[in-house]
Amino acid sequence: MTYSNKRVLLSKRPDALPPADTWAHDVQQITDCPEGHFIVEQHFISLDPAMRGWMRNVRSYIPPVGIDEVMRAGSVGKIVASNHPSFPVGKTVVGTGGVQQYAVTDGKGWHLNPLPDAMMPKALGVLGMPGFTAYFGLLEIGKPQEGDTVLVSGGSGAVGSVVGQIAKLKGCRVVGIAGGAKKCAYMKETLGFDEVIDYKAGPVFKAIRAACPDGVNVYFDNVGGDILDNALANLAPKARVVICGAISQYNQTKPAGPSNYLSLLVNRATMEGFVVFDFAKRYGEAAQQMGAWMQEGKLHSQEDVYQGIENFHETFLRLFSGEKLGKLILQVKD
Amino acid sequence: MTYSNKRVLLSKRPDALPPADTWAHDVQQITDCPEGHFIVEQHFISLDPAMRGWMRNVRSYIPPVGIDEVMRAGSVGKIVASNHPSFPVGKTVVGTGGVQQYAVTDGKGWHLNPLPDAMMPKALGVLGMPGFTAYFGLLEIGKPQEGDTVLVSGGSGAVGSVVGQIAKLKGCRVVGIAGGAKKCAYMKETLGFDEVIDYKAGPVFKAIRAACPDGVNVYFDNVGGDILDNALANLAPKARVVICGAISQYNQTKPAGPSNYLSLLVNRATMEGFVVFDFAKRYGEAAQQMGAWMQEGKLHSQEDVYQGIENFHETFLRLFSGEKLGKLILQVKD
C-alpha cells in the first residue's frame, strides 16, 4: 500500500495578506499505517478565518503552525487503512487533518461523522465548527432575549448566517451586515433576516442607526474594524457584544482597536470573547438541535466548494476578499 | 437676605484640553428662597474626570451641560436658608450643586450628610461618588475572587486607590499603576498594594508582565489608551476588564481604541462598562461598609484640596496633568 499525499506546508509567516510563497507544496509517500493509527483519505478541507491566526507566532488559544509543517485545517474524509479499533476502514470521519490529501492519525480530536456522505461538507460548516461557534457564541455569550435586536456582521458567512437564523428562531429581530448586493439578497430572501446592510453601499453608522432605531441589544462581531466601531456607537443599554473574530484585521500588522469602546461605559454594556473549543463537551447538543432545525426546514446552510489542493492559495484568499457565499470549502480528493 | 454667588459657567465646548476661555465667571445675586427649595452655601466642590465628558455635546448617560449654564459638579455644603421641610437650615448636605458658591435647589438628588463637618471633603471622595464607583465597579463588575491578581490604573487616584484597597481586603494580590515616584510610594507604603508600576519610568507591557506573571484576572481601567492596551496584552484566562473611565482620552478628538482587544477572544475575557448611578439604591450599603473599614483603619483615603473658585480652571486641569494625589477638591467658600 502506498498513498501519494499532496500537502501544503507553511513556508513563511506573512505580515499582511499572505503571498503565494507563504506555502510550499510537496508530495509525501505514505507506506505505513502504524499500530493505533488510521489513514484518512481527505475529501474536503475547511477554510476558516481562524487559520490566519494560527499562522502567527504569538501566544494564543492553540500553538501556531510550525514552519515547514502541514497547514492546519479542519477536514472530513474516509478511512482507507486502519490499525485502530474504533476507526474502521470505510467510515467517514471529521477532524483536523490539515491541508493535505491523506492524514495519518491516532484519532485524537477525530470523530465518526454520522451524516450521510452527500452531506459531508456540512460537517465542516453548519454541523461543524462554524455552526457550533454560532450556536454557543450567540446563545451562551450573546444571551439573546425574545424581542431583542441582534446585529451580526459577516452575516452571509459560515458563522454569521447561522447566528442570524438562530436569533430569528429565538424570537429576535435580526439585522445582517455583508458586502455586496448578492450577499444582502441572500441574507434577506434565503436566510429571512429582517433588515440587511451592504457595508460597501454607504456609511455604516447611518445604516445601523436606521435599521436599529432602538439600539443594538446583541452585536455578534466577525469582522472588527470600522464595522465594530459603528456597531459600538449604536448599542442599546446593557448590550452584549460578542467578539468571535475580526477578519478585517487579520492581515494588518497592527490591528485597529475600536475607538468607540467607551460606548460600553455609557451603555453599561459588555464585550466578551470566546473560543468554541471550550464548549467541546456540548457539541453533541448543538449538532442535535441544529440537525433538527434543518430537518424542519428552519435552518438553511450553504457551502461554497472549490476544487483541487493546487488551488489552496487562491481559495484561501477568498476568505479575505469576500468572494464566497456561506462556508468556504476546498475539495482535495483528486 | 442676599447671597452673592460666584459662578463658573460653561462658555464654549473645547475639542482638546480645555483652555481658560472655556469658562465664564460671573456673580449672581440670590435674593429669594422659593417654596419647597433651600439654599446651600457650598464649601467644597468635587473635580472629577467625568466632568470632561459632561462638557461634550453627545448622547451619554446624562445630558451634557448647556452653554452658559453653571458647570455641573458634585458638592457639599451647609443649608443657609430653607423652605423645605426635609432640609432645615444648618444641616450639611451633599448633592450636585455645580461650580458655584451657592446652590438653590428643590432637594432632588441631595441628601443629608451624616459625617461630622471635619470630614466634609470625604463626602465627595471615599464616602461619595468616587468611593461608590470603586466599590460597585470592583465588586459587581470586576467580581474579584480570593487569590486573583487585580491590576488598577490611576491607582493613587480617588477611585483607583479605593479599588486597590478593597481588592486587598477581599484577599487579592493588587498591582497599581500611576505616574511618578511619589504616587508609587503612596500606593506601596500607604495603600499597601503588593506591586506598583510607574508608567512614566519605562515600558508598561514589560512592567505588567513582570508584576503579573500569571496574568491579570481583573483589570480596573480608569485611563484608557496605551495602558489599557498593555493590560489587555497581559490578561489571564476568563479575565474581567472593568471600564470605569479613560482619562488619557478625554481631551482627544478621536479617542484611541484598544488595538489588543482580540485578547478578549484568546482569553475568553470580558470587558464591561458601568455607571455608578445605576447603583444609587445601594449607596447606603457601600457607605456603611466603607465607613466601617475606615474606622477599623483598613481603608485609607486622601483628599487634595485647593482653594478658591477663581482657581477652578487651573485646579480642573490637574485631573489631566496628574498633579494631585487622591481625590481632587476645590474649596469654594470664601
Query: What would the pLDDT profile of A228-258 be if each residue is shown by its tens digit?
Result: 999 999 999 999 999 999 999 998 888 889 9
Q: What is the pLDDT of residue B244?
A: 97
pLDDT at A145: 98
The closest alpha carbon to B226, from B257, B202, B253, B197, belongs to B257
Q: Which amino acid is at B175?
A: V
Q: Identify the weakest region by mean pLDDT among A51-65, A190-204, B176-190.
A: A51-65
- List, for residues B203-227, the tens digit of each pLDDT value: 999 999 999 999 999 999 999 999 9
| Residue A179 pLDDT class (50, 70, 90 cuts) | very high
Q: Which residue among B60, B268, B270 places its CB closest to the CB of A278?
A: B268
| Residues near B136 by beta carbon (within 8 Å), at least 6 away in sequence | B274, B276, B279, B282, B286
- Identify the pLDDT of residue B74: 97
Output the DSSP codes for B137-192. Answer: IIIIII---TT-EEEEESTTBTTHHHHHHHHHHTT-EEEEEESSHHHHHIIIIIS-
Nearest-by-Cβ selection for B264 from A260, A268, A272: A272
Query: In order of start, what are the domains of chain A with their CATH numbers?
Result: 3-125+301-331 (3.90.180.10), 129-277 (3.40.50.720)
What's the whole-number average pLDDT of chain A? 96
**pLDDT tens per residue across span B129-145:** 999 999 999 999 999 99
d(CA B108, CA B84): 11
Give A117→chain B minimum CA distance, Å: 34
Report the 10 Å Cβ neighbour count for B115. Answer: 17
In this complex, the residue of A60, A244, A254 whose CB is nearest that of residue B259 is: A254
**pLDDT reported for residue B190:** 97
Q: Are B190 and B184 in contact (CB under 8 A)?
A: no
Span B297-319, pLDDT tens digits: 999 999 999 999 999 999 999 99
Q: How far is A295 from chain B (nearest CA, A)?
A: 32
Joined grid coordinates for residue A140: 451562551
Query: For residue A252, what is the nearest residue in chain B, using CA coordinates?
Result: B259
A45-96: per-residue pLDDT in tens?
999 999 999 999 988 889 999 999 999 999 999 999 999 999 999 999 999 9
Mean pLDDT (whole number) for B326-331: 97
At A186 the pLDDT is 98
Q: How many CB atoms lie within 10 A of CB A222?
A: 27
CB-nearest partner of A270 from B60, B270, B275: B270
Q: In the structure grid, which three cell numbers stand for residue A51, read together? A: 487559520
Measured CB to CB, residues of chain B less than 8 Å from chain A are 59-61, 224, 229, 243-246, 249, 254-275, 278
Query: pLDDT at position B254, please?
Result: 81
User: For a pLDDT cut of 70, what percent of chain A falls above it?
Assistant: 100
* Facing residue for B257 by CB, picked from A244, A257, A272: A257
Residue with cell 472588527: A224
> Which residue in A334, A296, A287 sits closest to A130, CA to CA?
A287
| pLDDT, position A91 | 97
Is a pLDDT exceeding 90 seen at residue B253? no
Q: Please tell me the distance from the alpha carbon of residue A175 to that of residue A141, in angstroms, as a whole number.
A: 18
Confidence at A268, pLDDT banded by 50, 70, 90:
very high
CA-CA-CA-CA torsion sign (A225, A231, A233, A238): negative
- Does residue B7 surpass a pLDDT of 90? yes
Contact residues on chain A for B243, CB-CB shorter than 8 A: 261-262, 264-265
Instruction: Report whether pLDDT(A334) > 90.
Output: no
CA-nearest of B224, B217, B223, B215 to B258 is: B224
pLDDT at residue A265, rounded to an integer: 96
The C-alpha atoms of residue A2 and residue A26 are separated, in whole angstroms, by: 16
Reduced to 3 states, what is the DSSP secondary structure of residue B268? coil
**Residue B61 binned pLDDT confidence (cut-offs 50, 70, 90):** confident
Q: Mean pLDDT throughout A317-323?
A: 95
**Mean pLDDT (whole number) for B230-251:** 96
Q: Provide the CA B171 distance to its chain's centre, in angstroms.
A: 24
Residue A254's pLDDT is 81
Our CA-based measurement puts residue B308 at a distance from the nearest CA of chain A, in whole angstroms, of 32
Q: What are the backbone dihedrals phi and psi of residue B190, each rounded to the nearest 5 degrees, phi first?
A: -90, -45
Cβ contacts (< 8 Å) between A233 and chain B: which residues? none
- Count of CA atoms in the C-beta half-sphere (13 A) of A170: 23
Q: Mean pLDDT, to the nearest integer, of B183-209?
A: 98
What one-letter code names the amino acid at A300? H
Report the pLDDT averaged over residues B168-182.
98
The H or E element containing residue A42 is: strand A38-46
In which band, very low, low, confident or very high, does the pLDDT at B59 lie, cut at 50, 70 and 90?
Answer: confident
Give the closest-approach CA distance of A59 to chain B in angstroms: 9
> Mean pLDDT score of chain B, rounded to an integer?
96
Does B273 sit within 8 Å of A266, measured CB to CB? yes
Q: Closest-CA residue in chain B for A264?
A: B273
